[in-house]
Copies of this chain bind each other. A is one copy, B any other.
Amino acid sequence: MPQLGLLHGRAWASLLGKLLRPPGAVCIGAVHSHSQGTRDLTPQQMVVREKILDLVVSCFKRHGAKGLDTPAFELKEVLTEKYGEDSGLIYDLQDQGGELLSLRYDLTVPFARYLAMNKVKKMKRYHVGKVWRRESPTVVQGRYREFCQCDFDIAGQFDPMIPDAECLKIMCEILSGLQLGDFLIKVNDRRILDGMFAVCGVPESKFHTICSSIDKLGKMSWKDVRHEMVAKKGLAPEVADRIGDYVQCHGGVSLVEQMFQDPRLSQNKQALEGLGDLKLLFEYVTLFGIAEKISFDLSLARGLDYYTGVVYEAVLLPTPAQAEEEPLNVGSVAAGGRYDGLVGMFDPKGHKVPCVGLSIGVERIFSIVEQKMKTFGEKIRTTETQVFVASPQKNFLQERLKLIAELWDAGIKAELLYKNNPKLLTQLHYCENMGIPLVVIVGEQELKEGVIKLRSVASREEVAIKRENLVAEIQKRLSES
């Protein structure tokens, strides 16, 4: 995708250009984590977040998504039995009278509830918002109990795999745009997994729990996962080994073809449906020019209960050096899949609305970018102030206030010191520390001559400008820079 890379490369360069101010701006602060497992986001972090979220949301909008917002808490019953083993992580509100409420755990379930409640049969929406999970806070890995999610979903009955392919395209556009390094999107299908479990001899009652074990393959070795399945979950060793043969397979569309020929898998109706859809998906992602980023991976399971079809997960590929250090710790930065049954769970008559969607792992991305900036010692401007209003003499507060109001009214971002008589040096230091590019200076001499001095902080050059031309001159300089 040369065009995409180029385009977003420019966007990213401009982002970095806006973020970075060599002289004296502030470094990303230390993490302020609280005993309750949450944290404040400092101005430095907020700047990074704002830029990254801008890039993500403009991609969602480029694909025609509408915005939607749902409340932070839902009726407790809305969230129960949607998250499998993770349901214990839901925060409940205290019963202070009225309904029992819980903080939302993700943005997908509230979306499905919204569709069912309003009988919406078709919708392409994005949602950026916080979710809350009572996980034991492992601050080191950047996991907090409050975090931001960025979701894009397509609801509606459509021809197979077209929206699913668009979801993969969106993930590629965002990850390319953010320039986090090389990445790969693993794809599988719940029906292929279920078919695989069936033909390997997993009892149907164990499908869910074995699926959970398989889901750990990113973080655990096959040996450990096998041990969990056999020793803890009572799977016969030969069944585990048969699964082992499959889950080590990954590849492109040729692997799909190969699985069609697989003597056992090809006997399973569900698996064949899943394989048929994957074949189509590969056709579409090829047309989208992203096929080389997609890998059919029989080990990909995804933990959540509600997936019914294709599932996917984007991982950053480690550099050779990283791969040697931590071979298993590949980071998932986006994920999603098809959930055709969730909306029906909220409809009194069980009417289904098929859905497919994705979630960008922005918290992980935030910490990667913050880490990069820390490593390179990059500084960030936390304000956007363009002009500082200063005076070298005492008793010029009135002039400074009149002047700054004029700038604000002209839409110019401006600051002054909240002191009656600040020293000129203090004022100029403030500009250097904050990365403010321009200073307007008014003093006795200027007042007498009807001019204002305009100073460039970087070059220290000063020019006198007629008072009435000041705003125009500043706007000219700002538009040129």
Contact = CB atoms under 8 A, between A and B. Distances in A.
Nearest to A170: B408
A412 interface: yes
A267 interface: no
Interface stretch (A190-198, A247-255, A328-336, A379-387): A379-387
Contacts of A448: none
Contact of A36 (B73, B409, B410): B73
B66 A46 contact: yes
A400 B25 CA distance: 48
A32 B118 contact: yes
Quick one: copies of this chain in the complex? Answer: 2
Interface stretch (A151-159, A207-215, A437-445, A458-466): A151-159
Nearest to A129: B130
A146 B110 CA distance: 15
Contact of A418 (B65, B93, B159, B402): B159
Interface stretch (A236-244, A281-289, A370-378): A281-289
B43 A66 contact: yes
Interface in A36-55: 36-43, 45-47, 50
Interface stretch (A56-64, A268-276, A293-301): A56-64
A456 to B, nearest CB: 19
Contact of A384 (B61, B68, B284, B384): B61
Interface string A155-190: 010110011011001000100000000000000000
Contacts of A411: 7, 62
Nearest to A113: B40
A418 B99 CA distance: 40
A101 interface: yes
A70 interface: yes
Given A61-B413, A154-B418, A92 B93 contact: yes
B42 A415 contact: no
A95 interface: yes
A220 interface: no
A401 interface: yes
Interface string A410-433: 111111001110000000000000
A160 B229 CA distance: 70
Interface in A5-29: 7
Interface residues of A, number: 86
Interface in A115-149: 117-118, 125, 130, 132, 134, 146
Contacts of A398: 287
B43 A402 contact: no
A320 interface: no
A95 B134 CA distance: 12
Contact of A401 (B38, B40, B288): B288
A263 interface: no
* Most interface-central of A42, A66, A382, A410 (chain B CB within 10 A): A66
Contact of A63 (B39, B65, B415): B415
- Among A43, A75, A118, max chain B CB count under 10 A is at A43
A460 to B, nearest CB: 22
A287 B99 CA distance: 53
Contact of A72 (B146, B156, B408): B146
Contacts of A412: 62
Nearest to A1: B409
Contacts of A38: 71-73
A39 B73 CA distance: 10
Given A3-B409, A158-B419, A40 B69 contact: yes
A397 B161 CA distance: 12
A63 B36 CA distance: 33
A98 interface: yes
Closest 3 A/B residue pairs (Cβ):
A158-B418, A46-B67, A43-B66
17 contacts: A36-B98, A38-B73, A40-B70, A41-B70, A43-B66, A43-B68, A47-B67, A62-B411, A62-B414, A64-B383, A64-B384, A72-B130, A91-B93, A94-B95, A159-B418, A159-B420, A162-B419
